[in-house]
Amino acid sequence: MGELISASNLQKSFGSLRAVHGVNLRVNAGEVVGFLGPNGAGKTTTMRILTGFLDPNDGVVLLNGISIAEDPIGARRTFGYLPEGAPAYPDMTVREYLHFIARARGMPRRDIATAVEGVATRVHLRGVLDQVIETLSKGFKRRVGIAQAIIHDPPILIMDEPTDGLDPNQKHEVRELIRTMGSTKAIVLSTHILEEVEAVCTRAIVIANGRVVFDGTPSEFEAKAPSSVTRNRMDHVFRVMTGSGVEAST
């Protein structure tokens, strides 16, 4: 299966702060990559560079072979994106919003109603389709964000904390959805939850201080823990790789 995401040597500084420092990333179709890292490690910045929302100081991003810098519109057609916090227009109904996204993505008008119904079924939004977004609970808003990211069935999915704010049942549903889509798409998601990586990801990438400190399967990640550690082994590895001494001891 082809390489859908290719990012080489990404660099990004904000003033004197080096947010992303030489990140490389290759993701093939059929892979679900989990981005792990403490807050402020550079996960969101990296995802924003992948989607072209931020311009890197250096480095190249190719999405399905298209350069985001040279052909931004062509590259943006290849992915769906759930930004941090799942922003949406609060004064629109879910249906109006999804129609707007589908239209802006150039979907033929006759296909839009079907696509909206289909995606609403997949992420369990049917009951709130005609509700105004600002009246929705956090979990529903997150699902609206996921719906707008997958409505056009893109080959690439980039999701910043897709399960944040969901209750355990909703988390389970979203993970199932991601796992299903992961068989054919290239998916990158970020999370704080280590068990999530185990549950849905085929690969884990750990970022700390803007650098990739681990890239491998979740089981390889867990195997890094010494055999003396018997409980929360992933947490242990994560703390050793990313944490300062203070954080590791708390």
Partner 1 sequence: MIASGAMSPWRTILRREFRSYFATPLAAVFLVVFLFSSGIFAFSLGGLYERGQADLRSFFQFVPWLYLFLAPAISMRLWAEERRLGTIEILTTLPVPIWHAVVGKFLAAWLFSILALALTAPLWITVSWLGDPDQGAIIAGYIAAALVAGIFLAIGGFVSAITKNQVIAFIVAIVACFLVLLSGFPLVLNFFRGWMGSGAIDAIASVSVLTHFNSLMRGVIELRDLVYFASGIVGALVATALVVDWRKSA
Rounded to whole angstroms, the Cα distance separating 152 from 119 reads: 9
Interaction between residue 95 and partner 1 (CB under 8 A): no
Rounded to whole angstroms, the Cα distance separating 89 from 136 reads: 12
Stretch that binds partner 1, among 24-32, 47-55, 175-183, 193-201 (CB under 8 A): 47-55
- How far apart are CB 221 and partner 1 at their closest, in Å? 29
Q: Which of 141, 164, 165, 156 is nearest to 90 (CA)?
A: 141
Interaction between residue 81 and partner 1 (CB under 8 A): yes
Residue 76 or 175: which CB sits closer to partner 1? 76
Give the length of the chain: 250
Q: Are strands 156-160 and 186-190 parallel, antiparallel or unpaired?
A: parallel
- How far apart are CB 222 and partner 1 at their closest, in Å? 33
List 63's β-bridge partners, or say none. Answer: 5, 66
Residue 69 or 248: which CB sits closer to partner 1? 69
Interaction between residue 100 and partner 1 (CB under 8 A): yes
Stretch that binds partner 1, among 28-36, 79-87, 181-189, 215-223 (CB under 8 A): 79-87
Give the number of residues in contact with partner 1, rule: CB under 8 A: 31
Interaction between residue 129 and partner 1 (CB under 8 A): no
Rounded to 5°, angle at Cα 25 from 206 and 146: 80
Rounded to whole angstroms, the Cα distance separating 185 from 79 reads: 10
Interaction between residue 104 and partner 1 (CB under 8 A): yes
List 190's β-bridge partners, or say none. Answer: 35, 160
Rounded to 5°, angle at Cα 248 from 246 and 250: 75
8 Å CB contact between 49 and 56? yes
Structure tokens at 144: 């609206």
Rounded to 5°, angle at Cα 208 from 205 and 212: 40
Over the window 136 to 175, marking each residue x when it contacts partner 1 by CB under 8 A and - when it does not, the resulting string is ------------x---------------------------
- How far apart are CB 5 and partner 1 at their closest, in Å? 15
Interaction between residue 101 and partner 1 (CB under 8 A): yes
Q: Which of 77, 179, 192, 224 binds partner 1 (CB under 8 A)?
A: 77
Structure tokens at 200: 């849905």
Interaction between residue 92 and partner 1 (CB under 8 A): yes
Residue 68 or 199: which CB sits closer to partner 1? 68
Q: Which of 2, 24, 73, 220 binds partner 1 (CB under 8 A)?
A: 73
Residues of this chain that bind partner 1 (CB under 8 A):
48, 51-54, 73-74, 76-77, 81, 83-85, 87-92, 96, 100-101, 103-110, 148
